[in-house]
Structure 1
């Protein structure tokens, strides 16, 4: 094993993920290596300050990860080529689709020794939602296949086994390629403290971008149905209205804003106070998640869960009766979602019991230190 300091370049499509999803990993990487990040412009000063305190070199770009723009993508490719050519990283770690596709292609061309692309979920491209934008989906699949194939230095990282099997089945990757599955991005159990949920004033909380595939409509309709029968039950929603090809319709957004079905909180910098004040965390997503971070945060803080039996989401539910931490419901099934919400309303002791089980499950499987230990091995920097 080579113990010299390595130059590590991280590429992402959203600056807020650098600390929220990769902060603990970056802290581990900088202990024995030189770390740089290639990121869209960082608007939050605390993110800049933290990266500076860690001696992370920051290179900014104008990539928009959510929208299709040939000009923007070409400019990104050129900038990344110049950066890799000039900095000559020993390890290149891109995550999310555009950095993975374009970055892996460029890093292969530049003969980077170790390339570790991480797919944090397959999103719309391998779900029914992709049919609405079939051309973009088709192009994405072709580019993904071209970028990931044909280089022994590529170590592909998945956050759930379903995504790995899907890319094998579709021929995007081959059996002989180096591929690894880690348990999501992990969750920092020291940051998300356990607290006992309120079972006297029951409230449900959803944390998500306001896009269709996250199940916003299903959450709204379930809330409306439950509140008709149990008017004192509260429903809350955290998340930004996303400028995305799958943004929820404006009429639904208007209902969320102006009727009293859901308390819309918007985007927040720290979800912990809101999880602490919630009884149950809900995510009826069929998006194609890696492992949804909001569910892990809820589990870490001792919250019972309802989520969908869909890729990534199903990873967060422990189904054995002795350690059950929540429920899986079929995708787009409002009736099933309502039934599980009513179960918690009528079985309040399970809100606490499932929450305790969730904390234990998070510690056993999703502890960020366990996940990062796997990541360091894959990146060959331990």
Structure 2
């Protein structure tokens, strides 16, 4: 096999390490890998160095809208493509996909494989903001079909959404992969505590992830089951959909939730919890925290929403519950099911582990990714 040059464009070094690290390691066995990433925080630099790749930094802010900043990013990426002449270009997340795919086409890259790992806030139902409209126009222009373009999705709902919006057509080459996958050797199963039931939510503190619904459910359940504990992990970051500061203050200081902020390693926290909850209606790809929960043998409760529904199997091998979005009452109902039927915590968790092994093993997902990029 001929060694190829692969250029990856991402929205953060952390996402590359956490979600694509195993894929990069696989690529590096036979190919040269370059990465175009926003400024690397000091705590990520050593981890990134371990991947043994060539890194180019930029000043992109994936969450904020800035025409000048975005244009500078696109120009710098085009110049880099002309300099490196990669055989394969792999951008993921919205801004790298939009600007990177345009730059790669102009730069003559033969194989372009943009990944839309969830459509995010711009495609949440009812969002008619100018930013969303512009994003959709740019995405349609970026993804105009041509030979060598293959668009990767993490769930079939996102494919249908882009078809409905006429951003892509039936002529486009598209592939759906099972999320980012989960490293089953890293997230190893542990026995859940079924006698002292506890719930955990792992998420950035944004509205569409269902933070308020979890907060309200915890308040209600604590009145009836004061022995149960409720935990929350995640950063309060600069995002257009960040929860209101008053709600954040309430969660931190005046609620039954034990808020632990952002953590580097979620494994001990999942291990110390009985059930993982994510009442999200965000346009997820496939939520990584649910895959981690399943790999560790945890039952899950999530919404019957895009991306989330991919993670739940129903009877006879139920591994969790799907609830309607923004429905605190139903969330309370399903959480209470595990409180009053604690043996189900173990059986649901074992079914989730089996599903993770069958469908979401990172090595299976990455083998498919290598195929799509013609890197086998």
| TM bucket normalised to smaller | over 0.9
Query: Which residue, out of 336, 344, 349, partners 1:342?
Result: 336
2:310 to 281, 294, 315: 315
**Would you say the 8 A contact 1:129–1:213 is kept in 2?**
no
Q: How well do the aligned residues superpose, as a CA RMSD in angstroms?
A: 0.9
Q: Which residue does the alignment assign to 1:15?
A: 13
Report how far residue 300 of structure 1 moved: 0.3
Match of 2:281 among 275, 279, 286: 286
Which stretch shifts more, 325-334 or 168-177?
Answer: 168-177
- Contact kept, 8 Å, 2:295 with 2:356, in 1: the verdict is yes
Give the whole-Å Cα distance in 2 for the aligned partners of 1:258 and 1:51. Answer: 36
Check whether the contact 2:5–2:88 (CA below 8 A) recurs between aligned residues.
yes
Q: CA deviation at 1:69?
A: 1.0
1:371 to 341, 365, 370: 365
- What residue in structure 1 maps to residue 53 of structure 2? 56
1:227 to 208, 217, 222: 222
Q: TM-score, normalised by structure 2?
A: 0.98
Please tell me whether the aligned partners of residues 35 and 57 of structure 1 are also in contact (alpha carbons under 8 angstroms).
yes
- Shift in CA distance, 207/44, structure 1 to aligned 2, threshold 3 Å: farther
1:252 maps to which residue?
Answer: 247
Equivalent residues, number = 376
Which residue number corresponds to residue 355 of structure 2? 361
Unaligned runs of 5+ in 2: none
With 119-128 and 177-186 compared, the bigger mean Cα shift is at: 119-128
Report matched runs for 1:143-158 at 5 Å: 143-158=138-153
TM-score, structure 1 length as denominator?
Answer: 0.97
Deviations 1:329-348 (A, max 9, x none): 00000000000000000000
Q: Give 1:28-177 correspondences, 5 Å limit.
A: 28-45=26-43, 47-128=44-125, 130-131=127-128, 134-177=129-172
8 Å contact from structure 1 (residues 155, 378) kept in 2: yes
In structure 1, what is the equivalent of residue 233 of structure 2?
238
- Report if the CA contact (8 A) 2:205-2:242 is conserved: yes
C-alpha change, 1:92 and 1:53, in structure 2 (3 Å) is same
Q: 1:120–1:163: structure 2 CA closer, same or farther, 3 Å change rule?
A: same
